[in-house]
Structure 1
Amino acid sequence: MTTPEPLTPGSLVGWHPEQVTAAVDGEVIVMGLIRGQYVGLDDIGSVLWTLLEQPRTVRQLCDDLGRRYQGDPATMSADVVAFLEDLRALDLIEVLDAAPLSDP
């Protein structure tokens, strides 16, 4: 099994087609059908998950969160990438495309 390429700001990500999402007691729960594992998402994780219903680049996700929440942009970016990598490892999201690094 090969290691996937790391996510970049231009990576286009979206929901994996083999997952199920539900709201339970105000929390978003996502279950991956491939692995049979699920995760419960907190407030910010739920916002990111909702944004991913329509594929977006990592940069777009970071920009959107930056408009919603205050924080150090570099820290927010690192946290978003780490969160997305965790979701990808569970087959809850997939990389649909990767734009060049020079993409504005």
Structure 2
Amino acid sequence: MSISRPDALLPETKVTWHSEQITAAIDGEVIVMGMIRGQYVGLDDIGSVLWKLLEQPQTIRQLCDELGLRYQGNSDTILADVTAFLEDLRSIDLIEVVDAGSTR
């Protein structure tokens, strides 16, 4: 039996950029630096597309649907990969979960 964390990212979870981050394009690569932890990541092509989509709050399912339209792949694999990627970004405070009732 799998036990999920109470704050685990689910397909219905709405996420967006963390307000305390800086994004820059350098030599064709998107670099994101979190101001809270001072950590940064460089994003590849697909990561950069996903990052741009995160500018507006969206559910993980919406993000996966959009990536599925752009790239060929199994929807379960896309969901697993996107969720893992977002968990990594959240762990260093580059994205945040948005309350469904929030206007942000």
- Scaled by the length of structure 2, the TM-score of the pair is 0.89
- Count the aligned residue pairs: 97
* Unaligned segments of structure 1, at least 5 residues: 100-104
User: Is the CA contact (8 Å cut-off) linking 1:8 and 1:98 kept in structure 2?
Assistant: no
Partner of 2:90: 88
* Unaligned segments of structure 2, at least 5 residues: none
Report the secondary structure of 2:9's partner residue: coil
Partner amino acid for 2:96?
E
Partner of 1:69: 71
Q: Aligned-residue CA RMSD in angstroms?
A: 1.4
2-structure distance, mates of 1:4, 1:19: 25
Report the secondary structure of 2:7's partner residue: coil
> Which digits, 9 at most, give the CA deviation of each residue in 1:26-68, with x for residues without a partner?
0000000000000000000000000000010000000000000
Partner of 1:49: 51
Partner of 2:7: 5
Q: Which runs of 4+ in 1 moved over 2 A?
A: none
Partner of 1:31: 33
Q: CA deviation at 1:5?
A: 0.7
2-structure distance, mates of 1:95, 1:60: 14
| Larger relative contact order, structure 1 or 2 (CA cutoff 8 Å, min sep 6) | 1
Partner amino acid for 1:57?
T
- Scaled by the length of structure 1, the TM-score of the pair is 0.89
Name the % identity: 72
Partner of 2:22: 20
